[in-house]
A and B are shown apart, each in its own frame.
Chain A
Amino acid sequence: MRVTHNSIAGSVLANLQGNLSRLGQTQERMSSGKEISKASDAPSGAVSAMQIRSEVATAQQYKRNADDGIGWLDTLDTALSSTVDQTRRTRELVLQGMSAATSGSREAREALAVEVENLRESLVGLANSTYLGRPVFGGTTPGHVAYNPDGSYAGDAGEVKRTVGPNTKIRVDGSGPDIFGTGSTQLFKVLGDVVDHLRNNPGALSGDLNNLDTAFNRVQSGLSNVGARYNQVSRMQQAAGDNVINLTQSLSDIEDIDLPKTITDLQLQQTAYQAALAAGARVVQPSLLDFLK
């Protein structure tokens, strides 16, 4: 093939250009820290990156949902633990009242009645425990209380659920009617009866004791139920947190540069560029003109 100075200069220039553009690309990767900055850099990697990004967002949401669920369940747990303690105390008072019914004075029973009345008020207060302004035993009620002062249920039958994992929705409220009962064995109704019977009809107290035991058992099973759900949510919270870390790691594996490799590449390309420059300077220079006198 015939060669001219222009054709040599042209190919030297094109090669230099090629070297420089590869160097530029590597430098861009270095400075941005990203292996994939456009979808066309690696289409399959880019789509994985997008998918993982949305999975990270979902996992973060699960974690936030679980955090919120833990808040609800914590409130429930505290409220129910106190409810169990105070109900136990009430039961003791009822037993005292029953023995007082046969031997005790009216004044002694009145004192017991007042204490039970106070306990009942405190229990209604516990049943109105709120988390972020919402009564935790009131279902989805927009109101501020789950139980009215007279002990009647003010909430609704709605359920508060938190999505804490893929297809895992866990109930994080305590249903008032389920835990505190309904009808004649409803905790506050029973306590109201106890107060009434302590004052007026001590003989009926043994029936109240049975009802109180039923209500007490219901609250206790509610408490253990809350505990089980608490464990479940906190496990899911942990899983979601781990998932965020794993996914972020995968995202970084796909998108981010391998630093040592990129630095090595950069150095190699710099060397190649310098070599091409040096060669170019030597090749283009001489011609017959230099040797003719």
Chain B
Amino acid sequence: VSTFSGLSTALTSLYANRRAMEVTGQNIANASTEGYSRQRVDMRSIGGATVPGIHAQAPPVGSGVSVEQVHRLNDAFLDNRSRIEHANAEYLGGKQQLLTRVEQVFGEPGDTAIQSQLAEMWNSFGDLTNRPGDPAARTVVLQRASVVVDSVRGAAQSMGSLWQTSREQLDTVVAEINTTAKGVAEMNRVVQVTTASGQPANEVADERDRLVMKLAELTGARGIAREDGSVDVLLGGASLVNGGDARTLEAVGARVMAEQATTPLQMRWTDNNTVAAIPSGKVAATLESLSVTLPDYMGQLDTVAAGLASAVNAQHTAGYDRDGNPGAAFFTGTTADTLQLAISDPDDVAAASTPGGSLDGGNADALADLAKLPDGPDKKYRQMVVDLGVFTQSVNRRTEIQTSVVQQIDTERAGQSGVNIDEEMTNLVAYERAYQAAAKVISTIDDMLDTLINRMGR
């Protein structure tokens, strides 16, 4: 053993502890950086010679300490669970957002919504029964009916534009997915190269994991860590990112709601043009809204409009107008979008149940009675609103639960991989003391050497 070996032992300690203090500094600096995982210096003692040499005179003593690695203290299991829960939260959040907007379209229950307007229209028929000869009563009937028509058509148009906005948003989100996947692949490559050369790539890995989380939130993608430090991203069983390679997605099909029936909206892989399954996340919510929820409520609104038109027309054509002629169709159109008032002359309202222009209000009375039809438009409309309400309520509740699940797992994750200032301060003190002690060892050895070299033999 060399006389000077103690010096180099102390030197390794100075190096190692300085490195540890630097890492602690990095941790403290990133205490509130989102997605940062705390790092720990992994120190290992350097052993003495394990094979006794011929001239070895002293029993082997270790020769200091080395920094083996700088670890990222993240929990892969927690990371994966967090991705799944975040994806679910985004999925439910997306659905909730859409349903809230559909509810706003109808605005029930309220004094100005379609239900009230229908009631006012039926009442105007009731008033016409009382005064079949009064032009004012006839005009009121037409006005009330046109308010109903406008509201039904307005609701249909709002749903259509809701569909359109979501569709445009989907394109933006798909572009975001593609860019993010590409980012993950690039960072994977950096991590692979850096890890292969034995250097830590913790910051890049953190940033990459942040992007993987974003992919999970958008699509419900899963991440699988590999030996070389990279992360593969799977989307419903198919590979989105494989090491340093990323694939791209595109949204194809309908551009307006009417096309949905003939060319349904789909997510496809750009490279082989097969359908991509989106298990969860924001995109799954958008896809479901566009292909199921909105067309479904639109269909129900169409049923209401068609029921209204057929019920009123059947009764209206059974009556006779002010001039005694048989009544014409009152509404035209069989969908919410095409519903229109077919007559414009107040005298064409068929209030009478007898021909010949008598002041009979029997048919207007029968029209007013349509409000109470057991399977009439009012009933169907109420059914639709209650359906929507129940569905929205259940999604609201599930969102609320999911939010607290996400909150819990985020806290757990922040606890696991986040920076605790107290801990860092304690470590800093410990490393500083170790550094001071190592320095003390050097000065002590120096004293010893001074004695040996300068004072011996005097």
Contact = CB atoms under 8 A, between A and B. Distances in A.
A139 B426 CA distance: 103
B417 to A, nearest CB: 9
B407 interface: yes
Contact of A39 (B123, B388, B414): B388
Contact of B420 (A4, A41, A47, A292): A4
B201 to A, nearest CB: 23
Size bin of chain B's contact surface: 35 or more
Given A6-B32, A39-B388, A289-B421, A134 B359 contact: yes
A255 B365 CA distance: 31
Contacts of A158: 354, 358-360
Interface stretch (B124-132, B145-153, B212-220, B255-263): B124-132
Interface in A42-59: 42-44, 46-47, 49-51, 53-54, 57-58
B411 A7 contact: yes
B133 A6 contact: no
Contacts of A61: 122-123, 126-127, 368
Interface stretch (A75-83, A87-95, A161-169): A161-169
B79 interface: no
Interface string A54-74: 100110110011001000000
B115 interface: yes
Nearest to B412: A1
A10 B416 CA distance: 14
B392 A65 contact: no
Contact of A38 (B118, B360, B389, B419): B389
B116 A53 contact: yes
A141 interface: yes
Contact of B415 (A4, A40, A287): A4
Contacts of B127: 61, 64
A54 B119 contact: yes
Contacts of B132: 140
Nearest to A58: B371
Contacts of B352: 140
A141 B362 CA distance: 14
Contacts of B100: 38
Interface of B: 31-32, 99-100, 103, 106, 108-109, 111, 115-116, 118-120, 122-123, 126-127, 129-134, 352, 354, 357-362, 365, 368-369, 371-372, 378, 382, 385-386, 388-393, 396, 407, 410-412, 414-416, 418-422, 425-426, 429
Interface of A: 1-7, 10-11, 14, 36, 38-44, 46-47, 49-51, 53-54, 57-58, 60-61, 64-65, 68, 132-134, 139-142, 156, 158, 160-163, 166, 169, 255, 287-289, 292
24 contacts: A4-B414, A4-B415, A4-B419, A7-B411, A10-B411, A10-B414, A11-B407, A11-B411, A38-B100, A39-B386, A46-B385, A53-B115, A54-B118, A57-B116, A57-B122, A58-B371, A132-B131, A139-B358, A141-B359, A158-B359, A163-B126, A163-B129, A163-B368, A169-B365
Given A4-B419, A5-B418, 12 more contacts: A4-B414, A4-B418, A4-B420, A41-B389, A50-B109, A53-B116, A54-B371, A57-B119, A64-B123, A65-B126, A65-B129, A288-B421
